[in-house]
Structure 1
Protein backbone atom coordinates (compact mmCIF):
# COMPACT_ATOMS: atom_id res chain seq x y z
CA UNK A 1 0.00 0.00 0.00
CA UNK A 2 1.28 3.46 -0.83
CA UNK A 3 0.79 6.55 1.28
CA UNK A 4 1.20 10.18 0.31
CA UNK A 5 3.25 12.38 2.61
CA UNK A 6 4.57 15.90 2.90
CA UNK A 7 8.13 16.45 4.05
CA UNK A 8 8.66 19.68 5.98
CA UNK A 9 12.28 20.72 6.14
CA UNK A 10 13.35 23.12 8.86
CA UNK A 11 15.74 25.99 8.28
CA UNK A 12 16.81 25.52 4.69
CA UNK A 13 17.48 28.37 2.29
CA UNK A 14 17.62 28.86 -1.43
CA UNK A 15 20.85 30.76 -0.68
CA UNK A 16 23.12 31.03 2.31
CA UNK A 17 24.61 28.31 4.45
CA UNK A 18 21.94 25.64 4.09
CA UNK A 19 21.22 25.94 0.40
CA UNK A 20 19.01 23.14 -0.87
CA UNK A 21 17.51 23.75 -4.32
CA UNK A 22 14.06 22.23 -4.68
CA UNK A 23 14.97 20.53 -7.99
CA UNK A 24 17.73 18.66 -6.17
CA UNK A 25 15.37 17.77 -3.33
CA UNK A 26 12.94 16.28 -5.86
CA UNK A 27 15.77 14.26 -7.42
CA UNK A 28 16.90 13.04 -4.01
CA UNK A 29 13.39 11.89 -3.06
CA UNK A 30 13.07 10.07 -6.38
CA UNK A 31 16.45 8.39 -5.82
CA UNK A 32 15.16 7.19 -2.44
CA UNK A 33 12.46 5.30 -4.37
CA UNK A 34 9.55 7.66 -3.84
CA UNK A 35 7.04 8.54 -6.53
CA UNK A 36 4.69 11.44 -7.21
CA UNK A 37 7.40 13.83 -6.03
CA UNK A 38 6.60 17.55 -6.09
CA UNK A 39 7.78 20.60 -4.18
CA UNK A 40 5.94 23.69 -3.08
CA UNK A 41 7.68 27.05 -2.91
CA UNK A 42 11.40 27.31 -2.23
CA UNK A 43 11.24 26.77 1.49
CA UNK A 44 11.48 23.04 2.04
CA UNK A 45 8.06 21.58 1.33
CA UNK A 46 7.92 18.36 -0.65
CA UNK A 47 5.15 15.89 -1.37
CA UNK A 48 5.84 12.26 -2.25
CA UNK A 49 4.31 8.80 -2.23
CA UNK A 50 6.02 5.93 -0.42
CA UNK A 51 5.25 2.24 -0.26
CA UNK A 52 7.39 1.62 2.83
CA UNK A 53 8.13 3.16 6.20
CA UNK A 54 6.27 5.50 8.50
CA UNK A 55 6.55 9.21 9.27
CA UNK A 56 9.54 8.86 11.60
CA UNK A 57 11.56 6.43 9.49
CA UNK A 58 10.90 8.41 6.30
CA UNK A 59 11.96 11.65 8.02
CA UNK A 60 15.16 10.01 9.28
CA UNK A 61 15.87 8.53 5.83
CA UNK A 62 15.47 11.91 4.13
CA UNK A 63 17.52 13.79 6.76
CA UNK A 64 20.34 11.27 6.38
CA UNK A 65 20.23 11.49 2.57
CA UNK A 66 20.33 15.31 2.69
CA UNK A 67 23.31 15.26 5.04
CA UNK A 68 25.15 12.74 2.85
CA UNK A 69 24.37 14.59 -0.39
CA UNK A 70 24.62 18.24 0.72
CA UNK A 71 26.96 18.01 3.71
CA UNK A 72 24.72 19.56 6.35
CA UNK A 73 22.06 18.32 8.75
CA UNK A 74 18.45 19.39 8.32
CA UNK A 75 15.57 18.59 10.65
CA UNK A 76 12.77 16.91 8.71
CA UNK A 77 9.19 16.21 9.68
CA UNK A 78 7.07 13.92 7.52
CA UNK A 79 3.28 13.97 7.80
CA UNK A 80 0.60 12.05 5.92
CA UNK A 81 -2.47 13.51 4.26
CA UNK A 82 -4.81 12.47 7.06
CA UNK A 83 -2.81 14.44 9.60
CA UNK A 84 -2.37 17.47 7.33
CA UNK A 85 -6.11 17.52 6.62
CA UNK A 86 -6.91 17.30 10.34
CA UNK A 87 -4.60 20.24 11.10
CA UNK A 88 -6.46 22.29 8.50
CA UNK A 89 -9.92 21.18 9.67
CA UNK A 90 -9.19 21.56 13.40
CA UNK A 91 -7.99 25.15 13.18
CA UNK A 92 -9.37 27.01 16.21
CA UNK A 93 -9.28 30.36 14.39
CA UNK A 94 -11.63 31.55 11.59
CA UNK A 95 -9.13 30.72 8.84
CA UNK A 96 -11.55 31.46 6.00
CA UNK A 97 -11.83 35.10 7.14
CA UNK A 98 -8.09 35.71 7.64
CA UNK A 99 -5.21 36.40 5.30
CA UNK A 100 -2.73 33.53 4.99
CA UNK A 101 0.03 35.68 6.48
CA UNK A 102 -2.00 36.17 9.67
CA UNK A 103 -2.29 32.50 10.58
CA UNK A 104 0.55 30.04 11.08
CA UNK A 105 0.99 26.48 12.20
CA UNK A 106 4.06 25.15 13.95
CA UNK A 107 4.35 21.42 13.42
CA UNK A 108 6.09 19.48 16.20
CA UNK A 109 7.85 16.11 16.05
CA UNK A 110 5.79 14.84 18.97
CA UNK A 111 3.00 15.67 21.39
CA UNK A 112 3.25 19.02 23.15
CA UNK A 113 2.50 19.31 26.84
CA UNK A 114 0.43 22.47 27.45
CA UNK A 115 2.50 23.04 30.60
CA UNK A 116 5.39 24.15 28.35
CA UNK A 117 3.40 27.28 27.57
CA UNK A 118 1.68 27.85 30.93
CA UNK A 119 4.00 30.71 31.95
CA UNK A 120 3.12 32.85 28.93
CA UNK A 121 0.99 35.86 29.83
CA UNK A 122 -1.38 35.51 26.90
CA UNK A 123 -3.14 38.83 27.62
CA UNK A 124 0.17 40.68 27.21
CA UNK A 125 0.32 39.66 23.53
CA UNK A 126 -3.26 40.39 22.47
CA UNK A 127 -4.56 40.61 19.79
CA UNK A 128 -2.06 37.86 18.97
CA UNK A 129 -3.10 34.43 20.19
CA UNK A 130 -2.01 30.82 20.06
CA UNK A 131 -3.72 27.50 20.62
CA UNK A 132 -2.36 23.98 20.77
CA UNK A 133 -3.51 21.16 18.54
CA UNK A 134 -2.28 17.63 17.94
CA UNK A 135 1.49 17.93 17.46
CA UNK A 136 0.81 21.48 16.29
CA UNK A 137 0.53 25.04 17.51
CA UNK A 138 -1.77 27.52 15.78
CA UNK A 139 -0.67 31.16 15.89
CA UNK A 140 -2.88 34.11 14.99
CA UNK A 141 -0.65 37.10 14.29
CA UNK A 142 -2.77 39.85 12.68
CA UNK A 143 0.30 41.92 11.76
CA UNK A 144 2.12 38.96 10.22
CA UNK A 145 4.86 36.74 11.57
CA UNK A 146 7.67 39.23 11.02
CA UNK A 147 6.12 41.70 13.46
CA UNK A 148 4.84 39.16 15.96
CA UNK A 149 6.18 39.47 19.51
CA UNK A 150 4.31 36.31 20.45
CA UNK A 151 5.95 34.33 17.64
CA UNK A 152 9.34 35.52 18.86
CA UNK A 153 8.51 34.33 22.38
CA UNK A 154 7.10 30.99 21.21
CA UNK A 155 10.27 30.22 19.25
CA UNK A 156 12.47 30.28 22.35
CA UNK A 157 14.45 27.04 22.57
CA UNK A 158 13.28 26.21 26.09
CA UNK A 159 9.66 26.05 24.92
CA UNK A 160 10.52 23.58 22.16
CA UNK A 161 13.20 21.61 24.00
CA UNK A 162 13.40 18.01 22.85
CA UNK A 163 11.16 18.58 19.85
CA UNK A 164 11.72 19.43 16.23
CA UNK A 165 9.49 22.34 15.27
CA UNK A 166 8.91 24.03 11.94
CA UNK A 167 6.31 26.65 11.01
CA UNK A 168 4.27 27.30 7.88
CA UNK A 169 1.82 30.05 7.01
CA UNK A 170 -1.80 29.14 6.47
CA UNK A 171 -1.55 29.24 2.68
CA UNK A 172 1.14 26.55 2.83
CA UNK A 173 -0.84 24.50 5.38
CA UNK A 174 -3.80 24.44 3.01
CA UNK A 175 -1.71 23.77 -0.09
CA UNK A 176 0.14 20.81 1.44
CA UNK A 177 -3.15 19.24 2.52
CA UNK A 178 -4.44 19.70 -1.04
CA UNK A 179 -1.27 18.39 -2.67
CA UNK A 180 -1.24 15.22 -0.58
CA UNK A 181 -4.94 14.65 -1.31
CA UNK A 182 -4.40 15.05 -5.06
CA UNK A 183 -1.70 12.42 -5.00
CA UNK A 184 -3.85 9.86 -3.12
Structure 2
Protein backbone atom coordinates (compact mmCIF):
# COMPACT_ATOMS: atom_id res chain seq x y z
CA UNK A 1 0.00 0.00 0.00
CA UNK A 2 1.39 3.40 -0.97
CA UNK A 3 1.29 6.34 1.36
CA UNK A 4 -0.51 9.50 0.24
CA UNK A 5 -0.11 13.19 0.97
CA UNK A 6 -2.63 15.99 0.74
CA UNK A 7 -1.56 18.68 -1.69
CA UNK A 8 -2.90 22.15 -2.36
CA UNK A 9 -2.63 23.42 -5.92
CA UNK A 10 -2.68 27.20 -5.97
CA UNK A 11 -3.71 28.02 -9.52
CA UNK A 12 -2.57 31.31 -10.99
CA UNK A 13 -4.86 33.45 -13.17
CA UNK A 14 -8.01 31.39 -12.71
CA UNK A 15 -11.29 33.29 -12.68
CA UNK A 16 -9.62 36.60 -13.53
CA UNK A 17 -9.27 38.39 -16.82
CA UNK A 18 -12.21 36.65 -18.45
CA UNK A 19 -10.90 33.13 -17.79
CA UNK A 20 -13.80 31.71 -15.84
CA UNK A 21 -13.79 28.09 -14.76
CA UNK A 22 -16.38 26.64 -12.43
CA UNK A 23 -14.87 24.80 -9.48
CA UNK A 24 -16.89 21.70 -10.34
CA UNK A 25 -15.08 21.57 -13.68
CA UNK A 26 -11.68 22.11 -12.08
CA UNK A 27 -12.31 19.31 -9.60
CA UNK A 28 -13.35 17.02 -12.47
CA UNK A 29 -10.18 17.89 -14.39
CA UNK A 30 -8.03 16.96 -11.40
CA UNK A 31 -10.02 13.75 -11.02
CA UNK A 32 -9.29 12.86 -14.66
CA UNK A 33 -5.63 12.70 -13.66
CA UNK A 34 -6.39 9.95 -11.14
CA UNK A 35 -5.92 12.27 -8.17
CA UNK A 36 -8.09 11.39 -5.20
CA UNK A 37 -10.23 13.23 -2.65
CA UNK A 38 -10.28 16.29 -4.89
CA UNK A 39 -11.86 19.38 -3.39
CA UNK A 40 -11.72 23.14 -3.81
CA UNK A 41 -12.11 26.30 -1.81
CA UNK A 42 -13.83 29.39 -3.24
CA UNK A 43 -13.70 30.44 -6.88
CA UNK A 44 -10.09 31.63 -6.98
CA UNK A 45 -8.30 28.44 -7.99
CA UNK A 46 -7.53 26.57 -4.79
CA UNK A 47 -7.71 22.83 -5.40
CA UNK A 48 -6.65 20.17 -2.93
CA UNK A 49 -6.23 16.45 -3.46
CA UNK A 50 -4.31 13.41 -2.31
CA UNK A 51 -1.56 11.71 -4.31
CA UNK A 52 1.49 9.54 -3.77
CA UNK A 53 3.52 10.82 -0.82
CA UNK A 54 6.78 10.07 -2.63
CA UNK A 55 6.17 13.10 -4.85
CA UNK A 56 6.13 15.42 -1.83
CA UNK A 57 9.60 14.41 -0.66
CA UNK A 58 11.17 14.30 -4.08
CA UNK A 59 11.80 17.52 -6.04
CA UNK A 60 11.70 15.73 -9.38
CA UNK A 61 8.49 13.90 -8.42
CA UNK A 62 6.79 17.13 -7.40
CA UNK A 63 7.93 18.87 -10.59
CA UNK A 64 6.59 15.96 -12.64
CA UNK A 65 3.23 16.10 -10.84
CA UNK A 66 3.03 19.88 -11.29
CA UNK A 67 3.88 19.55 -14.99
CA UNK A 68 1.29 16.82 -15.46
CA UNK A 69 -1.42 19.01 -13.91
CA UNK A 70 -0.39 22.09 -15.92
CA UNK A 71 -0.36 20.18 -19.23
CA UNK A 72 -3.76 18.63 -18.54
CA UNK A 73 -5.34 21.96 -17.59
CA UNK A 74 -3.91 23.69 -20.65
CA UNK A 75 -5.11 20.88 -22.92
CA UNK A 76 -8.63 20.92 -21.49
CA UNK A 77 -9.05 24.68 -20.90
CA UNK A 78 -7.16 25.98 -23.91
CA UNK A 79 -4.76 28.25 -22.02
CA UNK A 80 -1.86 27.89 -19.60
CA UNK A 81 -2.68 27.67 -15.91
CA UNK A 82 0.46 27.88 -13.78
CA UNK A 83 0.27 25.65 -10.71
CA UNK A 84 2.11 26.31 -7.46
CA UNK A 85 1.94 23.01 -5.61
CA UNK A 86 2.42 22.67 -1.86
CA UNK A 87 1.59 20.00 0.68
CA UNK A 88 -0.97 20.91 3.29
CA UNK A 89 1.76 20.50 5.92
CA UNK A 90 3.99 23.01 4.12
CA UNK A 91 1.21 25.58 4.04
CA UNK A 92 0.40 24.87 7.69
CA UNK A 93 4.07 25.52 8.53
CA UNK A 94 3.79 28.94 6.87
CA UNK A 95 0.78 29.74 9.05
CA UNK A 96 2.44 28.34 12.18
CA UNK A 97 5.48 30.60 11.62
CA UNK A 98 3.18 33.62 12.05
CA UNK A 99 4.98 35.70 9.40
CA UNK A 100 2.77 38.72 10.09
CA UNK A 101 3.19 38.77 13.87
CA UNK A 102 3.24 42.35 15.04
CA UNK A 103 1.58 43.78 11.91
CA UNK A 104 -1.46 45.82 12.88
CA UNK A 105 -4.47 44.94 10.75
CA UNK A 106 -6.70 47.92 9.94
CA UNK A 107 -9.41 48.47 7.33
CA UNK A 108 -6.65 49.74 5.00
CA UNK A 109 -4.23 46.81 5.50
CA UNK A 110 -4.36 43.37 3.83
CA UNK A 111 -2.00 40.51 4.60
CA UNK A 112 -1.08 38.28 1.67
CA UNK A 113 0.84 35.05 1.35
CA UNK A 114 2.51 34.91 -2.06
CA UNK A 115 3.41 31.43 -3.25
CA UNK A 116 6.51 31.51 -5.47
CA UNK A 117 7.68 29.22 -8.25
CA UNK A 118 11.29 30.30 -7.56
CA UNK A 119 13.00 32.05 -4.68
CA UNK A 120 13.26 35.82 -4.84
CA UNK A 121 16.47 37.12 -6.46
CA UNK A 122 19.43 37.23 -4.08
CA UNK A 123 19.64 41.01 -4.56
CA UNK A 124 15.99 41.63 -3.65
CA UNK A 125 16.03 43.49 -0.32
CA UNK A 126 13.80 42.06 2.38
CA UNK A 127 12.17 43.87 4.05
CA UNK A 128 11.17 46.07 1.12
CA UNK A 129 8.68 48.91 0.84
CA UNK A 130 7.48 49.92 -2.60
CA UNK A 131 8.27 53.49 -3.73
CA UNK A 132 4.57 54.44 -3.50
CA UNK A 133 4.21 52.78 -0.09
CA UNK A 134 1.34 50.62 -1.35
CA UNK A 135 2.96 47.38 -0.26
CA UNK A 136 5.73 45.95 1.88
CA UNK A 137 7.49 42.62 1.48
CA UNK A 138 8.16 41.90 5.14
CA UNK A 139 9.74 38.46 4.75
CA UNK A 140 10.39 35.58 2.40
CA UNK A 141 11.62 32.03 2.25
CA UNK A 142 12.44 30.07 -0.94
CA UNK A 143 8.80 29.27 -1.74
CA UNK A 144 6.86 32.12 -0.17
CA UNK A 145 6.87 35.89 0.26
CA UNK A 146 4.86 37.72 2.89
CA UNK A 147 3.36 40.98 1.67
CA UNK A 148 1.45 43.68 3.52
CA UNK A 149 -0.79 45.63 1.13
CA UNK A 150 -1.83 49.18 2.02
CA UNK A 151 -5.13 50.10 0.39
CA UNK A 152 -5.47 53.62 -0.99
CA UNK A 153 -8.97 55.05 -0.54
CA UNK A 154 -10.20 51.50 0.08
CA UNK A 155 -8.75 50.25 -3.21
CA UNK A 156 -5.99 47.80 -4.00
CA UNK A 157 -3.70 49.79 -6.29
CA UNK A 158 -0.71 47.45 -6.33
CA UNK A 159 -0.04 46.35 -9.89
CA UNK A 160 2.85 45.01 -11.89
CA UNK A 161 5.83 43.07 -10.67
CA UNK A 162 5.79 43.00 -6.86
CA UNK A 163 9.29 41.60 -6.75
CA UNK A 164 10.94 43.72 -9.44
CA UNK A 165 11.86 43.09 -13.03
CA UNK A 166 14.67 40.71 -12.13
CA UNK A 167 12.23 38.16 -10.68
CA UNK A 168 11.64 35.60 -13.42
CA UNK A 169 9.42 33.25 -11.47
CA UNK A 170 5.68 33.18 -11.03
CA UNK A 171 3.71 34.08 -7.94
CA UNK A 172 0.12 33.82 -6.84
CA UNK A 173 -1.19 35.44 -3.71
CA UNK A 174 -3.85 34.56 -1.19
CA UNK A 175 -5.03 36.56 1.79
CA UNK A 176 -3.65 35.18 5.05
CA UNK A 177 -7.12 34.40 6.40
CA UNK A 178 -8.06 32.68 3.11
CA UNK A 179 -4.89 30.58 3.28
CA UNK A 180 -5.91 29.36 6.74
CA UNK A 181 -9.39 28.47 5.44
CA UNK A 182 -7.90 26.56 2.48
CA UNK A 183 -5.77 24.47 4.85
CA UNK A 184 -8.78 23.77 7.07
CA UNK A 185 -10.89 22.70 4.07
CA UNK A 186 -8.09 20.48 2.75
CA UNK A 187 -7.65 18.78 6.14
CA UNK A 188 -11.41 18.23 6.44
CA UNK A 189 -11.77 16.65 2.98
**Normalising TM by the smaller chain, what interval?**
0.7 to 0.9
Structure with greater proportional helix content: 1
Match of 1:85 in 2: 92
Structure 1 residues 33 and 42, CA, compared in 2 at 3 Å: closer, same or farther? same
**Among candidates 109, 129, 147, match of residue 122 of structure 1:** 129
CA contact (8 A) 2:121 2:166 kept: no
Give the alignment of 1:134-153 within 5 angstroms: 134=141, 135-143=143-151, 147-148=155-156, 151-152=158-159
Inter-partner Cα distance in structure 1 for 2:163 and 2:123: 15
Match of 2:58 in 1: none
Match of 2:14 in 1: 12
> Is 2:67 the counterpart of 1:63?
no
In the TM superposition, residue 99 of structure 1 has moved relative to its aligned partner by 6.7
Moved over 4 A (4+): 123-128
Inter-partner Cα distance in structure 2 for 1:99 and 1:78: 31
Structure 2: gaps of 5 or more residues: 56-60
Match of 1:76 in 2: 83
Inter-partner Cα distance in structure 1 for 2:130 and 2:11: 32
Structure 1 residues 82 and 95, CA, compared in 2 at 3 Å: closer, same or farther? farther
Match of 2:172 in 1: 166
Structure 1: gaps of 5 or more residues: none
CA contact (8 A) 2:88 2:187 kept: yes
Inter-partner Cα distance in structure 2 for 1:95 and 1:34: 39
Helix, strand or coil at the partner of 1:7:
strand
**Among candidates 89, 113, 123, match of residue 105 of structure 1:** 113
Inter-partner Cα distance in structure 2 for 1:8 and 1:130: 20
Inter-partner Cα distance in structure 1 for 2:78 and 2:130: 44
Using the size of structure 1 for normalisation, the TM-score is: 0.80
Using the size of structure 2 for normalisation, the TM-score is: 0.78
